[in-house]
Amino acid sequence: MCTKTCNINSIVPDSTPYELIKKILKILKYEKNVAGIKMPDNPEEKLLILQLSEDSRKIARLLSSETSIRILKLLNKKSMSAGNLADELGVRLNTLKYNLDSLLEAGMIRVRHVKWSQKGRKIKVYEASKK
């Protein structure tokens, strides 16, 4: 078994969080050569990433969440409110809200606009960040 160690900043120097996410997603899809990293041919080999910045840790946490990834995929297609996202994904609103707040903080999504419900409640409409 082989372990390869590298620093995330050497993989994606001066990358925005959005660029970093795109590169990590490509790696997770098992592309053989992303950002100069040769993915292991042997499944027993491991890639160990050390010295992550706080932003990188947040992004890694988000990418480990299936709900966050599903939210990003939907918001890449169209803008949606939290209620619409919860219905589409089949998750509870409080679970969705946690993920939306995390994605907002990481800069991966943004509030496109705010609309008002018939009951006078503020409804945020989200979209994927275009960085």
Domain boundaries defined on the chain: 3-52, 66-128
pLDDT at 110: 93
pLDDT at 130: 78
pLDDT at 1: 35
Chunked in runs of 10, what are the mean pLDDT values of the chain (131 residues)? Answer: 46 60 61 50 56 72 84 93 95 92 89 91 91 59
The domain defined by 66-128 folds into: Arc Repressor Mutant, subunit A (1.10.10)
Q: Indicate yes or no: pTM above 0.85.
A: no
Structure tokens at 40: 């292991």
